[in-house]
Amino acid sequence: MNALLTNYGSSNSSPAPLIMQSKQEFVATVEEERKEEGMFLTWEDLQVTVPNGRKGRKPILKGLTGYAQPGKLLAIMGPSGCGKSTLLDALAGRLGSNIKQTGKILINGLKQELAYGTSGYVTQDDAMLSCLTAGETLYYSAELQFPKSMSITEKKERADATLREMGLQDAINTRVGGWSCKGLSGGQKRRLSICIEILTHPRLLFLDEPTSGLDSAASFHVMTGIASLILKDGIQRTIVASIHQPSSQVFQLFHHLCLLSSGETVYFGPASHANQFFSSNGFPCPPLYNPSDHYLRIINKDFDQDVDEGITTEEATNILVSSYKSSEYRNHVQNEIAKITVNLIDL
């Protein structure tokens, strides 16, 4: 008999009792139960390579492992070119055709495609028509994204509610604008891009540098809006955002931190524990210093300077990468993934 055994269960729930079901029934049960809980995303030993002329292929992501869970905001940080956008693209299934990927990415513990409408992806560029107002932009988007069966009034209401969620109600009649005519500010444009992606209330949201080009006040405003989506209307959302150099206020909004350098994990764990990790490896954050400034200074290998007496950024990064591999944080990640992952065992 083709029966299946499971030990899945979220980090918050105890393992479900062992059950005997057909494979289809089993997968349907898991999908249904997980839908209630939200979206769990796990990745293990994720490797990504790109063509590198005659030299074969160049590794971009070198065996990354991690997870994102409902009700939490995961920030992906690291120096420019470390692979933040590539990781987001790989997780969202958006890598280009010339890019090769190996490793395991699971959604709700199962190998499956992201179903239409379950996820949103806010790219770095705000691709909108400059001649439309913020309201018109979102109404057209609603028209395209919602089913034909939904009334125009309902679509408009959903669009208005989403504009309010992102604090754009006062800019509803302002043109998006562009280089030829002034319109929305940079921060408002970013928020409108986010509105387009959250219109259908996806449970999984990817954001690539949502604060790029914004000053620290606007960044905080945008990130607070994003963080408020984590638990809205009784739904727990999973949010994964790549971010360059957050202010200390923005940093406090993150639940989990994935810190990368040259495609390797320097740290993956609670954002509030990163200081302790750096400190225990001999790189304490100076008092009154923005923690993210400190982390990025230590692990930016582009400018191989001394971070401490006689220790270069290259050496410091190697110390942290190797320390992380044998750390409790790394074990915790593996344990969490094991809890989330569904074991499909043919008996």
Ligand X SMILES: Nc1ncnc2c1ncn2[C@@H]1O[C@H](COP(=O)(O)OP(=O)(O)OP(=O)(O)O)[C@@H](O)[C@H]1O
Contacting residues toward ligand X, per CB under 6 A: 50, 60, 78, 80-86, 96, 99, 244
Buried b / exposed e over 234-260, threshold 16 CB at 10 Å, is eebbbbbbbbebbbeebbebbbbbbbb
Q: Which residue from 329, 214, 256, 282 is spatially nearest to 77, judged by alpha carbons?
A: 256
With beta carbons less than 8 A apart as the criterion, state whether 121 and 92 touch. Answer: yes
Q: Compute the least distance from the CB of residue 50 to ligand X, in Å.
A: 4
Nearer to ligand X, 99 or 344 (CB): 99
Which uninterrupted H or E stretch holds 160? helix 152-165
Nearer to ligand X, 94 or 244 (CB): 244
Q: Compute the least distance from the CB of residue 222 to ligand X, in Å.
A: 17
> What's the Rg (C-alpha) of the chain?
21
Tokens of 190: 């970013």
Q: Compute the least distance from the CB of residue 246 to ligand X, in Å.
A: 13
DSSP state of 125: S
Q: Which residue from 217, 299, 314 is spatially nearest to 258, judged by alpha carbons?
A: 299
Q: Compute the least distance from the CB of residue 18 to ligand X, in Å.
A: 41
Nearer to ligand X, 50 or 235 (CB): 50
Nearer to ligand X, 83 or 291 (CB): 83
Nearer to ligand X, 103 or 167 (CB): 103
Question: HSE-up of 224 (CA within 13 Å, CB side)?
Answer: 11
Percentages (nearest 5) of helix, strand, coil residues in the chain:
40, 20, 40
Q: Compute the least distance from the CB of residue 83 to ligand X, in Å.
A: 4
Q: Compute the least distance from the CB of residue 59 to ligand X, in Å.
A: 9
Measured CA angle at 206 (ends 320, 86), to 5 deg: 55
Nearer to ligand X, 83 or 225 (CB): 83
Q: Compute the least distance from the CB of residue 210 to ligand X, in Å.
A: 12
Nearer to ligand X, 21 or 124 (CB): 124
Nearer to ligand X, 165 or 209 (CB): 209
Buried b / exposed e over 284-310, threshold 16 CB at 10 Å, is ebeeeebbbbbbbbbbbbeeeeebeee
Instruction: Give the Cα separation of 18 and 89 in Å (integer).
Output: 35
Q: Compute the least distance from the CB of residue 302 to ligand X, in Å.
A: 10
Instruction: Give the Cα separation of 108 and 217 in Å (integer).
Output: 35
With beta carbons less than 8 A apart as the criterion, state whether 262 and 82 touch. Answer: yes
Tokens of 226: 């994003």
Nearer to ligand X, 70 or 83 (CB): 83
Amino acid at residue number 320:
L
Quickly list H helices, 55-145. 84-92, 134-145
Nearer to ligand X, 262 or 341 (CB): 262
Q: Compute the least distance from the CB of residue 73 to ligand X, in Å.
A: 18
Beta bridge partners of 74: 240, 256
Q: Compute the least distance from the CB of residue 151 to ligand X, in Å.
A: 41
